[in-house]
Amino acid sequence: MEFKRVVVTGLGALTPIGNTVPEYWDSLLNGVSGAALIKSFDTEKFKTKFACEVKGFDADAFLGRKDARKLDPFVQYALFSTEEAVKDAGLDFSKLDTSRIGVIWGSGIGGLKTFLDEVVGFAKGDGTPRFNPFFIPKMIADIAPGHISIKYGLRGPNFSTVSACASSNNSLIDSFNYIRLGKAKMFISGGSEAIINEAGIGGFNAMHALSTRNDDPATASRPFDLDRDGFVAGEGAGTIILEELEHAKARGAKIYAEMIGGGMSADAYHMTAPHPEGLGAALVMRHALEDAGITPADVDYVNVHGTSTPIGDPQEIKAIQDVYGDDVYRINISSTKSMTGHLLGAAGAVEAIAAILALKNDIVPPTINHFTDDPAFDPKINFTFNKAQKRLVRIAQSNGFGFGGHNASVIFKKYEE
């Protein structure tokens, strides 16, 4: 069977460092940190008092107050970034066969704020169940693709991928596979997350997963730095329009890049810790390279998972060294989480956008907040520390790993006829 080619024709982003794709990309290239003291709730009694929050987003202005109240923030974010991507792709759904266009969307947790608000409200009451009738449909993780499909009238495959921080990489891979198998012409794909609230921060604090660098939030996300002390929570959404090549050409679409492969694997090791030898991470990268029909010698840039945790960063680099061999010294590596924080289920999509734009513009965004070398890492590896670097980027790989041992890696290349 001959696979269909799959291309990227639209991008949308709502991030802690920019509420549009151009703003996000400009902040990445300029090394802007999205971390600051949390404004959305009182953190006085919390170990971590900062995060990478979305800034200046007005759900009431975007959706209208009545409709905004029916949606959890993770769905509001999804609709917002998707509107940008749809406009960017020049889509007029009235002229397209919407039965062949679907939505596959990732979220690691879904409507956590809705769940928190409803349960707290019940606990403060007299035991009478006075739950909001929108409680369940606001909370469930699959409601984001549902609302996207309703808004645009899209009747193709529609579901949510849930694999923790690999969720939106999985959504991209599923969308890619449906298109190349000829089962759909286009997908709105990506992910969103909104966990910066008492339950989200408190829960990750209880795991000792978050940085506690409260005196200097802007430098707290320090992937590969000796003094990294945990990840910085982020929120937002990323949308990528994936489309069958001939369908895109027929409507005169602009093409950012081609998606050529995706891999998935499991660590089968621990519910939160990565495999100490990086076995799952190495396996997923090999699967992605094999699926794309390329070798490490073809890749120029890897956007790593790179969360800034003491145990996670070394395992990923060990895996990259195992897979890439001597090519590890030729490629650029960077962690854009140093700027955005960790968007959990939205991380894969937002970071795939960074990889796609690196291909389009031949420039690699940096890993900021590097102060002290960690002897655990080979100093000859190019981590793109602190400043963006111009170079030819023909193929880029982007990794995502999640609690439960879920791993997903995607590969994009410059589009050629």
Spatial distance between the Cα atoms of 303 and 284, rounded to a whole number of angstroms: 14
Confidence at 1, pLDDT banded by 50, 70, 90: confident
Is residue 15 one of the residues assigned to a domain?
yes
pLDDT, averaged across the chain? 97
Q: What is the pLDDT of residues 192-217, one digit of tens each?
A: 999 999 999 999 999 999 999 999 99
Spatial distance between the Cα atoms of 232 and 214, rounded to a whole number of angstroms: 11
Mean predicted confidence (pLDDT) in 235-248 = 98
Residues 18 and 86 grouped into a single domain: yes
Question: Would the pLDDT of 297 be above 80?
Answer: yes
Residues 246 and 339 grouped into a single domain: no
Residues 167 and 308 grouped into a single domain: no
Contacts of 269 (CB under 8 A, 6+ apart): 275, 276, 279, 280, 405
Q: Which of 191, 218, 250 is the last residue of a domain?
A: 250
Domain count, the chain: 2
Could you report how far apart the first and last alpha carbons of the chain are, in Å? Answer: 21
Query: For this structure, is 247 an active site residue?
Result: no
Catalytic residue (choose from 275, 342, 370, 406): 342
Burial 83-114 (b: 16+ CB within 10 A, else e): bbbbebbebeeeebebebbbbbbbbbbbbbbb
The domain that holds 44 is classified in CATH as 3.40.47.10
Q: What is the pLDDT of residues 151-199, one digit of tens each?
A: 999 999 999 999 999 999 999 999 999 999 999 999 999 999 999 999 9
Is residue 256 one of the residues assigned to a domain?
no
Spatial distance between the Cα atoms of 7 and 364, rounded to a whole number of angstroms: 21
Catalytic residue (choose from 52, 147, 165, 275): 165
Catalytic residue (choose from 247, 275, 287, 305): 305
Contacts of 125 (CB under 8 A, 6+ apart): none
Residue range of the domain that includes 331: 263-413
Q: What is the pLDDT of residues 303-361, one digit of tens each?
A: 999 999 999 999 999 999 999 999 999 999 999 999 999 999 999 999 999 999 999 99
Contact call for residues 305 and 316 (beta carbons, < 8 A): yes
Q: Environment class of residue 122 by beta-carbon count within 10 Å: exposed (0-12), middle (13-18) or buried (19+)? A: middle
Residues 272 and 246 grouped into a single domain: no
Contacts of 21 (CB under 8 A, 6+ apart): 11, 12, 13, 84, 88, 353, 357
Mean predicted confidence (pLDDT) in 217-229 = 98
Confidence at 77, pLDDT banded by 50, 70, 90: very high
Spatial distance between the Cα atoms of 349 and 187, rounded to a whole number of angstroms: 13
In percent, the amount of the chain with pLDDT more than 90 equals 98
